[in-house]
Structure 1
Amino acid sequence: MSAPVVAKFKTRTVAGVAEYKYFIVVPGGLNNYRNDGAGRFDASASGALFLLSLDKAAGDKWKQGVNYYKFKVPISEPDRQGGLSAPALVVDGDGAVRYAYAGDLQGNLWCFDFTGSAPWRAALGRSPGTPLFTAEDDNEMRQPITMQPKVVFAPGGGYVVLFGTGKFIEPADAVLADFKDQSFYGIYDSTRDADKISGRQQLAPRRSATDTTDPGAALTIIGDAFGYGAAEGSKRGWYFDFVESARTGERSVSDAVVDHGQLFFNSMIPAADPCATGSSRSYRLDALTGLPSEDNATGFLSRAGAMGSPLLLETTAVQVGERNTIGKRAVKRTQTVFNFRGASGGAKGPGQGAVVEIGVPAGRISWREILNWQELRDAAKKE
């Protein structure tokens, strides 16, 4: 669903020196189970991630393990469609990919580990054949993942993988009778094999406290505070079920945007009339908590059609506050949220041309008193 990406990978280490190559990273696609009209399809095909080498000569044939690599994910349920969505890439300090996260049509979130060397036989080796997480609603119905995830750092190490569920690829996806509950997730990956997530009971739920009798109302999303981790009392992330999505068809199929810890995304609500444009809700949440920033309302309904991925532009000068007693200062960035079509209806919210303010820490974050600084200063002068 997203464009292929050119990325750097560490292929091996020789005499302590790392060697790198560049590859095109692309998934196998989401609709390889459908006949393309020429008889090319596989109804039981599993998803796959491909690395295509950029240094392949034009006349050379493609050879697996030489100029391309293929990583197949297993089919969890043979009677359900497979297919892998576009991956999110996590890079190291040297710019090389460490991990790739991608979802599939069976609701599985996969982690590909590229911290080793080519041919990366252990890319799915933390628990071979076991996804990091499987998205299911409260009735244990699997929720397809077609959007490209986003990844942020988790407190204390690891990552939080952000994605929504839903599918809008073929005519059957617009049939009202087939609508299912869909959700948005923030899934914690400690990068340790033992910390796989068994289900949504290990996540912190978020819910709407808004009166749903007004379909055009913005949403107030609430939920308890939590800490990330695998220990008892901690949570492996959070989730939010789109309000009455089994009735409205609300789902998440377009890419989200993360900026300074804030998550922006537009859901999609298909129209009952196939000739109509449908609608969307625009959300702004804290990426780590899954709650609206500063207790603001979110989920503003578009009254002018469905919207794709939001675009954030910094439209005014950055405001820098005064330093406090330890040298820390607050920086306020003002950004405008643009969408490709439609506008946020009703109250002012993150829709077409809406302005949002994001506060970020700056300056000296902490202070350590050096009691013998004069002694150290005098000693340095003598050297």
Structure 2
Amino acid sequence: MSIDQNTGRPSFKFISTGEVGTPASPNGIAYVTPIDLDGDNIYDYAYAGDILGNVWRFNLLSSNSNDWTSQPQKLFTAPAIQPISTKIIVTRMEQNGTSGDVILNFGTGMRKEGYLGGKTTYATGQQSIYGIRDKTALAFSMVPGTTTPQVDRSRMQRQVVHDGGKQDQLSNMKVDWNTKSGWYLDLTRPTINGKVEYEQVIYNPYLERGKYLIANTFIDGSNPVLSCRTVQSSGYTYPFEATSGSGLRGFFDNNFTGSSYRKQLNAVGAPILLRTTDGKLLLLTKDNQGNPNLHEVYLPESSSIRRISWREIF
């Protein structure tokens, strides 16, 4: 959808990716992230993930919207059973003090609402959080028609979770951008009441200062017929450096030379960071009853990476 700046009239343009799925496994896109690369306050591209695990780039460079229907560029395909149902977060790498290539951060997972009394279900199989590099985004804006090779997961840096209780340690592996195309972290698969559940991302991640990625995950609970023990749904909050996928040191404990952790906050919905009048940084979450919770968190004070785009509101 676009809006005429003079009349305010909306117009709609349908752009097909060509991958519609099947009746048994339909495809679709839930969120689209537009970006402005050259700072003219006009969107150049839009990024989106679909239910089949594909990441797409749509070319919006032309002033003629009829040109937007040209074949979208597929940048990445996640492994089988890794749907992308949340927003892709877009930022830029920092290279020698200047804004460089585009990084796309997203998680996989999906919630399927139960209709007419049916049970709500979630994605099965291994789910992950990703950061992939769109290496030709800036060059692409100068040369319409340029194609980009797909990012291969085998050429991405693996980050891991070291199990350690309610504050699980995150790895801090560096990404060698000469040989790697991004990073990924495979989420956990806990066994609850004898059944394997799959930790996944069903809420939009949050980007702070164009550099720090915060993601809430979800793990379905269990209420088996043959057991008296009901386990409520749960989830973790992950702080990352968006570019490398390295766990963000000091986020929960203000120790920037120590280890980095995820924390089991059992948060529902997208995370939000707030700054108080006395300078404290608070993470706002809510529980599965809708009750808000505030957690004091910490970030390094310096940050030179800029937002991918902005808009002045009059």
Q: Structure 1 length normalisation: TM-score?
A: 0.62
2:223 partner letter: D
**CA pair 96-174 structure 1, distance change in 2 beyond 3 A:** same
Q: CA deviation at 1:68?
A: 2.6
- Large movers: runs of 4+ above 4 Å: 172-176, 274-277
**CA pair 124-290 structure 1, distance change in 2 beyond 3 A:** farther
Q: Does 1:236 align with 2:181?
A: yes
Report how many aligned residue pairs link the two structures.
Answer: 266
What is the rounded CA distance, in whole Å, between the counterparts of 2:242 and 2:19 in structure 1? 30
Do the aligned partners of 1:256 and 1:263 also contact (CA within 8 Å) in 2? Answer: yes
> 1:212-237: per-residue Cα shift (whole Å, max 9, x none)?
xxxx4322121531243xxxx43211
Q: Alignment RMSD, CA only?
A: 3.1
Moved more, 275-284 or 166-175: 166-175
Provide the secondary structure at the position in 1 that maps to 2:154: helix
Match of 1:206 among 131, 138, 159: 159
Match of 2:271 among 298, 310, 313: 310
Match of 2:25 among 80, 98, 101: 80
**What does residue 55 of structure 1 align with?**
9
**What does residue 217 of structure 1 align with?**
166
Alignment of 1:47-196 (within 5 A): 54-55=8-9, 67-75=11-19, 77-78=21-22, 80-91=25-36, 92-121=38-67, 123=68, 125=70, 128=71, 130-136=73-79, 141-156=80-95, 157-171=100-114, 179-190=124-135, 191=137, 192=140, 193-196=146-149
**What does residue 258 of structure 1 align with?**
207
Q: CA deviation at 1:70?
A: 1.2
Q: CA deviation at 1:266?
A: 0.6
**What does residue 375 of structure 1 align with?**
none
Alignment of 1:286-365 (within 5 A): 286-294=241-249, 296-302=259-265, 305-317=266-278, 334-341=280-287, 352-361=294-303
What is the rounded CA distance, in whole Å, between the counterparts of 1:150 and 1:7 in structure 2? 21
**CA pair 361-354 structure 1, distance change in 2 beyond 3 A:** closer
Do the aligned partners of 1:108 and 1:133 also contact (CA within 8 Å) in 2? Answer: yes
Structure 1: segments with no counterpart, 5+ residues: 1-5, 9-20, 24-52, 57-66, 319-333, 344-350, 363-383
Q: CA deviation at 1:355?
A: 2.3
Do the aligned partners of 1:206 and 1:240 also contact (CA within 8 Å) in 2? Answer: yes
Structure 2: segments with no counterpart, 5+ residues: 141-145, 225-229, 250-257, 305-314
> 1:333-357: per-residue Cα shift (whole Å, max 9, x none)?
x4110102279xxxxxxx7322223
What is the rounded CA distance, in whole Å, between the counterparts of 2:130 and 2:69 in structure 1? 22
